[in-house]
Amino acid sequence: MPASSPSSSTPSKPLSAPQKAMRKMGLVRDIDLALHIPLRYEDETHIVKLRDAREGDAIQIEATVQSSEVQLRPRRQLLVTVDDGTDTCVLRFFSFYPAQQKALAVGQVIRARGEIRGGFLGLTMMHPSFKAATGVLPAVLTPVYPTSAGLPQAYLRRAVAGALARADLSESLPPALAWPAAPKGQQIQSLRQALTYLHHPAPDVSIAALEDRSHPAWQRLKAEELLAQQLSQHMAKLERNSLRAPALQHRQGAWHDQLRDALPFQLTAAQQRVGLEIAQDLARPVPMHRLLQGDVGAGKTVVAALAAMLAIDAGWQCALMAPTEILAQQHFAKLVAWLAPLGVRVAWLTGSQKKKERTDMLALIESGEAALVVGTHAVIQEQVKFKKLALAIIDEQHRFGVAQRLALRDKMQDADMEPHLLMMTATPIPRTLAMSYYADLEVSVIDELPPGRTPVVTKVISDSRREEVIGRIGAQLAEGRQVYWVCPLIEESEALDLTNATATHEELSAVLPGVSVGLLHSRMSVQEKRDVMAQFTQGAMGVLVSTTVIEVGVDVPNASLMVIEHAERFGLSQLHQLRGRVGRGAAASACVLLYGTPDGGRLSETARERLRAMVDTNDGFEIARRDLEIRGPGEFLGARQSGAALLRFADLATDEHLLEWARHMAPLLLAKYPDLAERHIARWLGGKSEFLKA
């Protein structure tokens, strides 16, 4: 049964329910079905006698039906008694159809597979799989596939078997380029051998090797998948290098140098290094596509400002887009303070602007008078027209999707050119993730903090010691310091017994008389948020109770204590970002992770791992590595891969050796055997490789 759609010259027949279900699962091409690997396997290769069966074992028996009846009490069920000559067993079905009753009529010889249970009535099997005892026993394990409603296993097995026979599984590496060596010296098989084995393994296979995916057949499959990903990323990089962009040459003594010399601090060696990397990229007539990563507080904004000045010096415009208005406002305030004295006009765009202010800003941008534009998603709206956009900077890039990044790049007026793109993130990218999903980018790393930043001491404290923590707040306030208190919710929830931000604000206001306690959450108006943040930034507010809207961008050096309530509910990366709001000045700073457990129970192992990691290290790269281990790449990538499949088979935590091989092999295959490279990408990614290019 071909999985591919019929040709346009042939009238299409209505799809059956199983065919519709397969299409919904993305099983359209023969190769899609061939790569649909079983979830698990059933051993139907031999028969176990009932007298030899042990309770709890999943076994297959061959027996004759002695009786078959439907009982209505205590609930409707079909009870079938079978005898294999050594003992009897009751097959119990609570859900059944007339066709099944007919197949289980008295006198029928069947093979049934299920878990053996003991009991008052003797041996039983609950809802076993069964079929007529005809033909020889299979020589291989029976696959059990991921499926959906309307797609029976029997139908799916036939479809996969047919597709596996038809699919083009020819080798995509020539003999001159070898597949990686398998663990323990075992030879990795051809793709056809590997897939055939994974669909129908021999009964003596090591189940552990199949489950942990260390079997040579799995290794071959993962190597193929990683090679396809690396090929796609390298092709995207090569395609971009064929495009044109403005060449922004550094001019000695111009605004870039004036800004650098006017800064009230010295750039770190890391900032100088990445600044040079960016400047070298911008000087080339091809689009820069660079990811700037650095831990919280590492000084990415000033590096971005210096990059913007290179564009402005050359007579072009720059746009900086941030995911939240609070973060965009922080950038705007800093950049105006740095650039206004130099005579550089900075425009501000956000969805909450009054109409007149917005109209004025749009005019400044279109005329080119505004050399730098800072804002939220409003920057990419259709009515925003740049006169000469040369550089687009995206902060917290994982918060933006492919379409949003492409929209910013499309703001270039010259259809034959593309702007340079600088993406920034305060969530460090683990090495294996950078090698795989970010392989098409150049990566710059600010790997040191500016002098004067104090290490943050992190403590994990039970919510039962809440009063003690509040006492600590009083001590900090007495020293003239400020405090953040972060809550996960802003409303009561019956499902989650979490103290909300409003209740915590009321509690702290009551126990800290004379202290200004502010409240900040996502449902406040933009102006209300702005007013609260202004009071806290200016030191007029001692305590700020907030939800995670202060996760990134907020910079108040006088804040020295961060309390995160129900820290076990937050992700590791988010906890690290929140902790980065303190320790931004010279004062000793601390982060208290308050945790609670329902009904006095225990924290989950995952929650314990997260909290332990926060105590163990302040290093964002180590935090990111552990976060990747705990969560996998899906959440880490955010919307970067929108529409493109994540790795289905390879695991970045265990398959780094295969990833290294694929990174080395991809450019060789592209350079020497481009046709084979194209075929390999088509086999594995189909049309999804387009999403990797943004």
**Cβ-contact 627, 196 below 8 angstroms:** no
Across 80-107, average pLDDT:
94
Q: Which of 421, 446, 471 is the last residue of a domain?
A: 446
User: With bands split at pLDDT 50, 70 and 90, how would you rate the model's confidence at 51?
Assistant: very high
Q: Does the residue 219 lie in any domain? A: no
**Contacts for 517 with CB less than 8 Å, ≥ 6 apart:** 505, 508, 509, 541, 542, 543, 544, 545
Is 509 in the same domain as 477?
A: yes
User: Is the confidence at residue 642, as pLDDT, over 90?
Assistant: no
User: Where is the domain boundary, 600, 617, 634?
Assistant: 617
* 155-206 per-position pLDDT tens digit: 999 999 999 999 999 999 998 888 887 666 566 678 999 999 999 999 988 8
What is residue 86's DSSP assignment? S
Residue 259 maps to which CATH number? 3.40.50.300
Give residue 600's pLDDT.
58
One domain, residues 368 and 436:
yes
Question: Considering only 117-121, 182-186, 306-310, 394-398, which range has the smallest mean pLDDT?
Answer: 182-186
2 confidence band (pLDDT: 50, 70, 90): very low
Q: What CA–CA distance (Å, rounded) separates 386 from 363?
A: 9
Work out how many domains the chain is built from and give that number. Answer: 4
**Mean pLDDT, residues 387-393:** 92
Name the DSSP letter for residue 353.
-
Residue after which a domain boundary falls, among 446, 467, 489: 446
d(CA 118, CA 442): 63
Same domain, 5 and 116: no
Helix (H, G, I), strand (E, B) or coil at 658: helix
525-555 tens-digit pLDDT? 878 888 888 899 889 999 999 887 665 556 7
Question: What pLDDT, on the 0 to 100 scale, is given for residue 241?
Answer: 83
What is the pLDDT at residue 629?
75
Q: Are residues 430 and 463 in the same domain?
A: no
Which range, of 56-70, 558-572, 618-632, 649-663, averages the lowest pLDDT? 618-632
Res. 515: pLDDT tops 50: yes
Q: What does the pLDDT read at residue 553?
A: 55
Looking at the fold, whether 153 and 290 belong to one and the same domain comes out as no
pLDDT above 90 as % of the chain: 49
530 occurs within a structural domain: yes
Q: Domain check: are 395 and 533 in the same one? A: no
Same domain, 18 and 160: yes
More confident residue, 522 or 579: 579
Q: What is the pTM of this model?
A: 0.74
**Same domain for 574 and 438:** no
**pLDDT band at 426; cut points 50, 70, 90:** confident
Q: How confident is the model at residue 1 (pLDDT cuts 50, 70, 90)?
A: very low
Tell me if 572 is assigned to some domain: yes
CATH code (residue 130): 2.40.50.140
473 shares its domain with 598: yes
Instruction: Indicate the average pLDDT of the chain.
Output: 85
Asked whether residue 63 is domain-assigned, the answer is yes
408 part of a folded domain: yes
Same domain, 442 and 336: yes
Q: Kindly state whether residue 368 falls inside one of the protein's structural domains.
A: yes
Domain that holds residue 80: 46-137
Q: Is residue 177 part of a domain?
A: no
pLDDT of residue 549: 66
Residue at 598 is within a domain: yes
Q: Are 245 and 387 in contact (CB under 8 A)?
A: no
What distances in angstroms separate CA 199 from CA 140, 192, 313, 647, one per listed residue? 9, 11, 61, 19
Q: Are residues 423 and 502 in the same domain?
A: no
Q: Let me know whether 565 and 463 are in one domain.
A: yes
Q: Please report which residue ranges of 495-566 form alpha helices under DSSP H.
A: 501-511, 526-537
Cβ contacts of 77-83, under 8 Å, gap ≥ 24:
78/104, 80/104, 82/110, 82/112
Q: How many CB atoms lie within 10 A of CB 343?
A: 9
